[in-house]
Chains A and B, each alone.
Chain A
Amino acid sequence: SQTIHQWPATLVQPVGSPLSLECTVEGTSNPNLYWYRQAAGRGLQLLFYSVGIGQISSEVPQNLSASRPQDRQFILSSKKLLLSDSGFYLCAWRQHGYTFGSGTRLTVV
Chain B
Amino acid sequence: GENVEQHPSTLSVQEGDSAVIKCTYSDSASNYFPWYKQELGKRPQLIIDIRSNVGEKKDQRIAVTLNKTAKHFSLHITETQPEDSAVYFCAFHTGGFKTIFGAGTRLFVKA
Contacts and interface: CB of A to CB of B under 8 A. Distances in A.
B43 A90 contact: yes
B25 interface: no
A11 to B, nearest CB: 15
Contact of B49 (A57, A96, A101): A96
Contacts of A43: 89, 101-104
Interface string B2-45: 00000000000000000000000000000010101000001111
Interface in A76-109: 90, 94, 96-103
B99 interface: yes
Contact of B101 (A44, A59, A96, A99): A44
Interface string B43-79: 1111001000000000000000000000000000000
Interface in A44-88: 44, 46, 49, 51, 57, 59
Interface residues of B, number: 17
A95 to B, nearest CB: 10
Interface in B73-106: 89, 97-99, 101-104
A51 B45 CA distance: 22
Contacts of A57: 97
Nearest to B47: A97
A51 B97 CA distance: 8
A98 B46 contact: yes
A13 interface: no
A100 B97 contact: no
B106 to A, nearest CB: 8
A51 B99 CA distance: 14
Interface of B: 32, 34, 36, 42-46, 49, 89, 97-99, 101-104
Interface of A: 32, 42-44, 46, 49, 51, 57, 59, 90, 94, 96-103
Given A42-B103, A97-B49, A98-B99, 6 more contacts: A43-B103, A44-B101, A57-B97, A96-B49, A97-B46, A98-B46
Closest 6 CB pairs of A and B: A97-B46, A97-B34, A100-B43, A43-B103, A44-B101, A43-B104
